[in-house]
Amino acid sequence: MFGRRLTIFKLFGFEVRIDLSWFILAVLITWSLAVGLFPLYLKNLSQSTYWWMGVAGAAGLFVSIIFHELWHSLIARRYGLPMKGITLFIFGGVAEMEDEPPSPRAEFLMAIAGPISSILLGVVFYGIRAAARAAGWPAAVNGVFGYLAWINLILAGFNLLPAFPLDGGRVLRSVLWNWRGELRGATRIASQIGSGFGIVLIILGVLNVLRANFVGGIWMFMIGMFLRNASQLSYRQVLLRNALEGDHVRRFMEVNSVTVPASVSIAQLVEDYIYKYHFKMLPVVDGERLLGCIGTRQVQTIPRNEWGEHRVGELVRACSSENTIAPDADAIRALSVMQRTGNSRLMVVERDRLVGIIALKDMLQFLALKLDLEGDGE
- The binding site for Zn(2+) consists of 68, 72, 167
Report the binding-site residues: 68, 72, 167
Residue 238 contacts residue 183 (beta carbons within 8 Å): yes
For the purposes of burial, counting CB atoms within 10 Å of the CB of 304, is it exposed (0-12), middle (13-18) or buried (19 or more)? exposed
What is the rounded CA–CA span in Å between residue 171 and residue 159?
Answer: 10
Round to whole Å and give the CA distance between 80 and 78: 6
CA distance 315 to 295: 9
Residue 227, class by beta-carbon neighbours within 10 Å (0-12 exposed, 13-18 middle, 19+ buried)? Answer: buried
Q: Catalytic residue among 69, 96, 100, 107, which?
A: 69
DSSP state of 83: E
How far separated are the first and last CA of the chain, in Å rounded?
28
- The strand ranges marked E within the chain are 5-11, 14-19, 83-89, 92-97, 260-261, 281-286, 289-295, 324-325, 345-350, 353-359
Active site residue 96: no
Active site residues: 69
